[in-house]
């Protein structure tokens, strides 16, 4: 940061401190993510931008501690903001719109977190309805969940182990999120989107 080129979406952050940059970038949703913003400001040592295959990402290099107290690092990456996201092909297939909370988050970063691994908010082009993967399995095994339909679960936050946080569609309200367990096919822990992100992504240190 300090040398972002003119075509970088975050060019205006060049002359600001790291803490000021975080404040400015997240200002529209600062009241919804206070713990995450505080963690970023306390832990971030470097901010740098990357343009790869025509796509920009902003990277936040964070100090962290491993479970044995050793010093290490974590990198949260965020895609370039989009202000009028449209449902991708998968969402259109299952008659889903993009939940309003997710749209609001995409106006800051289209995708955010440890994007090359797990524990990240998926970008608009990658979010998907669980039915595409799970309905064929249900048909093959002749079993379906008791209290929900896979066509009403939209995955947006994978954990890398097969589980995911998903939006649950209930009576056209799609801003409730639930944890989906891939081993028992159960959903639990209903939370609002911003509550979930604020709590989960502010935990920087390894447990």
pLDDT in tens, 142-177: 999 988 999 999 999 998 888 999 999 887 666 789
Task: Give the mean model confidence (pLDDT) for residues 105-129.
Answer: 92
d(CA 70, CA 129): 39
C-alpha 30 chain-centroid distance: 16
Backbone φ and ψ of 121, nearest 5°: -75, 120
Residue 115 confidence (pLDDT): 77
pTM: 0.93
DSSP-assigned states of every residue in the chain: -----TTSTTGGGTTS-HHHHHHHHHGGGTTT-HHHHHHHHHHEEEEEEEEETTEEEEEEEEEEE-TTS-EEEEEEEEEPP-SS----HHHHHTT-PPPHHHHHHHTT-SSEESTTSSSEEPPTTT-EETHHHHHHHHHHHT---SS--GGGEEEEEE-SSS-EEEEEEETTEEEEEEEEETTTTEEEEEEEHHHHHHHHHT--S--
Task: Give the mean model confidence (pLDDT) for residues 73-97.
Answer: 95
Task: Kindly report, residue by residue over 33-45, the tens digit of the pLDDT.
Answer: 999 999 999 999 9
Residue 172 confidence (pLDDT): 67
Residue 28 has pLDDT above 90, yes or no: yes
Residue 89: how many CB atoms within 10 A of its CB? 8
Task: Kindly report, residue by residue over 42-59, the tens digit of the pLDDT.
Answer: 999 999 999 999 999 999
Task: Give the mean model confidence (pLDDT) for residues 98-121.
Answer: 92
Residue 207 confidence (pLDDT): 79
Residue 175 confidence (pLDDT): 72
> And the tokens for 24?
């400015």
């Amino acid at each position: 940061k300090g040398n972002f080129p003119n075509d970088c979406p975050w060019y205006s952050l060049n002359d600001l401190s790291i803490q000021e940059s975080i404040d400015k970038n997240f200002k529209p949703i600062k009241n919804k993510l206070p713990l995450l913003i505080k963690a970023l400001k306390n832990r971030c040592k470097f901010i740098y931008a990357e343009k790869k295959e025509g796509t920009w990402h902003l990277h936040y290099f964070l100090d962290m501690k491993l479970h044995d107290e050793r010093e290490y690092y974590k990198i949260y990456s965020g895609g370039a903001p989009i202000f009028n996201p449209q449902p991708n092909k998968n969402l259109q297939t299952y008659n889903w719109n993009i939940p309003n909370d997710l749209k609001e988050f995409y106006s800051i970063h289209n995708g955010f977190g440890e994007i090359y691994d797990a524990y990240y908010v998926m970008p608009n082009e990658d979010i998907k309805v669980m039915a595409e993967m799970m309905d064929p399995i249900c048909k093959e095994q002749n079993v379906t969940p008791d209290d929900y339909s896979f066509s009403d679960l939209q995955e947006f936050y994978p954990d890398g182990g097969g589980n995911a946080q998903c939006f649950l569609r209930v009576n056209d309200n799609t801003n409730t999120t639930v944890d989906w367990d891939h081993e028992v096919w159960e959903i639990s822990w209903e939370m609002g989107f911003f509550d979930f992100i604020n709590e989960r992504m502010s935990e920087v240190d390894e447990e």
